[in-house]
Amino acid sequence: MVRLTTCGAPRLTTTALVTAFLLFAFATIFGCSDGSYPTAINSKGLVKSALSKQAVIAEGDMGFDAASSKKKRFADASAPAEIAGATANRKIIYSARLKVVVEDFADVPQAIQSLVNQHGGFVSMANVGSMQGRSRSGTWTIRIPVDQYQRFLTATGEIGQTASLSQNADGVSEEFFDAKARVSNKKKLEDRIVKLLEKSDHKIQHVIEVERELGRVREEIERIEGRIRYLTDQTSLTTVNLEISEQRNYVPETAPTFASRTANAWTQSLVRFQISAENFIVFAVGNFLGFCLFAVVVLIGFFVLRRFLGSTVVAS
């Protein structure tokens, strides 16, 4: 009895120690595996250290977010500037054709010139017709700065009733900047040719060949620069072709109906008949003397023929 108790006690003690060691190791491993900071240990220093490290990480994350937000705001703020710069670098030729109908044409030429002066443009061509008995009209070709283009169209349309308006925009950015690059390259080539001419052996044949090539390059430069000047002029000033006519009781065109088409056909037939009658009267008046001479010739011929036939019958 005593022997069994004595033998069993050491086994129980060893087992308990092994179990306690395993539990302690298990708790230590899994207690520290929750992160690199031992917050599970009941120690003020370790807890404070862990909290401070977490605060540093939080501040770093906040700083990163703030920096990212600042960069994003900066990018958002610079985006409109980049877009505006890209828009400013575009070369576009604007043109418009505007037809306006007015009740009274008397003050129109002066009003057009006033509008052109107000918007900083100039009239490159004007043709005003005021033939008696016909409605007055006029056509203008006007050059207006691009920034005043839409304002000028709006102001001009308010002179009367807009009959039609067509606008066109032709992008020439690629051609413009390509021409600028070609001029730059040609000028570099010109400089090399000039240096080659200065270092030549002064033989007449060689000098003539170099000068011929130099003249060809300079001619190409002048031609390309002329094209650049034309594109610059066309893109800085818009072209507005304006046509204004006088018409009483003007009614804008609407979708045609059967009644309107019938009335229009009848009106056109009357107009054609009137025009034909007027043309015939004008033709008759203009050729009155010719008709009189023709009638005299016909009468003389008739009497001669009648007398001839009469004499022939008596002789038979």
3-class DSSP assignment, residue 41: coil
Q: What DSSP designation does 158 have?
A: T
pLDDT given for residue 79 in this prediction: 38
Listing DSSP states for 116-131 in one string gives: HHHTT-EEEEEEEE--
pLDDT given for residue 199 in this prediction: 77
Would you say residue 38 has pLDDT above 60?
no
Global pTM reads 0.49
* Residues of the chain above pLDDT 90, percent: 25
Between 78 and 218, where is the model more confident? Answer: 218
Q: What is the CATH number assigned to the segment(s) 93-248? A: 3.30.70.260
- Count CA within 13 A, CB hemisphere, residue 138: 20
d(CA 284, CA 279): 9
Crossing angle (nearest 10°) for helices 288-315 and 258-286: 70
Would you say residue 186 has pLDDT above 70?
yes
pLDDT given for residue 23 in this prediction: 59
On average, the pLDDT of the chain sits at 74
- pLDDT tens for each residue of 150-178: 999 999 888 888 888 999 999 988 999 99
- Tell me what the mean pLDDT of segment 213-228 comes to: 92
- Tell me what the mean pLDDT of segment 194-223 comes to: 84
